A and B are shown apart, each in its own frame.
Chain A
Amino acid sequence: MRRILHVVIISSVIAFTVLAAYALCVGGLGYELPPIEPRTLAKIYLSTTFNPSLRILSAMAPEAVTAIVWDYRGLDTVFETTVLYLAIIASIAIMRGIEHHEPYDEKKGMSIIGKTATKIIVPFIVGVAGAIALHGHLTPGGGFQGGATAAVAPLLVLVIFSVYFLEGIGLTKNRALVLRSTGLLGVGITSFIVFMIALIKGFNAFILQNQPKPYSPIGLPYAFNGNIIGGTLLLFNISEMLAVAAGFTILFILLAIPEEKVKKVISSQGESHG
């Protein structure tokens, strides 16, 4: 039985490898990987992403991927954020009513070596995450990337120092929820900000608009004091980073609650409901 399983696994891996290599070599991607010449669709985006002579089509941010994610197809990204938000709401709903607090002391968590290394590494992680998110409109990166990187820092603290240390320094589940809601509120407000300005000034505008478009001659400034900020992209990146980092932190705080505690609360709920 076990021999057959091995044969099946190895042959399927080999078949997958050969097929994927064949598709990459002679498929629609061309003979060079990565291709030296960008494709026609890529050329359209690359020529409009930062083009001051074509303001009406341009997103005015040099980073094409962030411009596509938050400007060309902003509504898709808002829905992606909503999906993540609903998943975290669901996990909070499942774990409702389960509170577990203990004071932190030096005996909890891992050894002093791990704790010292974490103390050195965590500021670097937060710094890199901030750089990825705040430069998202200029260099590769963006809100989700920065937020996911930032979420590694509380995760490390939680595993190495224990969850009680995280709660001791003030990052409880409810505060993370407030941070997450602030981030989502930022995404929501930024979606409507050009629309609101246009409403006050008496122009037409679109939801999730960034730069001036046909029929709507209004938009956020793409540069501030000589620095390119990409209009709404910087605001979107900051808000998304807050929302993603706090969302993952909530998940890990919930996962770190001891299992016996969870079982006790869930079974007592079952008794009280019948």
Chain B
Amino acid sequence: MTYILPYILMALAALGSIVAVYLAIIEKDLLKAALFSAIQSTLYALLYYLLMAPDIVLTYIPVAVGLYPAVLIFLIKKTERYEGES
């Protein structure tokens, strides 16, 4: 019965990442959108771990949770924080 636990965790992480992606797309505040994107990356890192790809996890955590949101936040600071209404 313990064998099913990774699959349940995978399903929950995948569903959570979908919610984070949706919020990142519709969010007008780009800083919040970058944070939602980082949440989605965290859940993906969990998925990669459960799919037994530890090398990918070790690349994904620093790049997608650390460096990539940092670059986005630097760029938002240099440009505009709010997406204009079209």
Instruction: List, in ascending order, chain A residues with CB within 8 A of B54's CB.
Output: 140
Q: A6-B26, A17-B18 are in contact. Are A152 and B58 (CB under 8 A)?
A: no
B78 in contact with A259 (CB, 8 Å): yes
**From residue 31 to 86 of chain B, which have CB atoms closer than 8 A to chain A?**
51-52, 54-55, 57-59, 61-63, 66-67, 70-71, 74-75, 78
* Cα(A17)–Cα(B22), bound, Å: 12
A13 within 8 A of B: yes
Chain B, interface size category, equals: 20 to 34
Instruction: List, in ascending order, chain A residues with CB within 8 A of B51's CB.
Output: 33-34
Nearest B residue (CB) for A140: B54
B9 within 8 A of A: no
Instruction: List, in ascending order, chain B residues with CB within 8 A of A19's CB.
Output: none
Count residues of A near B (Cβ-Cβ below 8 Å): 27
Instruction: List, in ascending order, chain A residues with CB within 8 A of B59's CB.
Output: 144-145, 148
Interface string of A122-152 (1 = CB under 8 A from B): 0000000000100000001110110011011
* Cα(A6)–Cα(B54), bound, Å: 36
Least distance between A63 CB and chain B CB atoms (Å)? 8
Instruction: List, in ascending order, chain B residues with CB within 8 A of A6's CB.
Output: 26
A159 within 8 A of B: yes
A248 within 8 A of B: yes
Q: Is the interface of A mostly helix, strand, loop or mixed?
A: helix
Nearest B residue (CB) for A64: B55
**From residue 1 to 46 of chain A, which have CB atoms closer than 8 A to chain B?**
6, 9-10, 13, 17, 33-34
Nearest B residue (CB) for A14: B18
Least distance between B70 CB and chain A CB atoms (Å)? 6
B22 in contact with A9 (CB, 8 Å): yes
Q: Can you list 17 A-B contacts with CB-CB less than 8 angstroms, sorted by A residue number?
A: A6-B26, A13-B18, A13-B21, A17-B14, A17-B18, A65-B55, A141-B58, A145-B59, A148-B63, A148-B67, A152-B67, A155-B66, A251-B71, A255-B71, A255-B74, A256-B74, A259-B78
With A34-B52, A152-B66 given, name 19 new contacts (CB 8 A): A17-B18, A33-B51, A132-B58, A140-B55, A140-B58, A142-B55, A142-B58, A144-B59, A145-B55, A145-B58, A148-B59, A148-B62, A148-B63, A148-B66, A151-B67, A159-B70, A252-B70, A255-B75, A259-B78
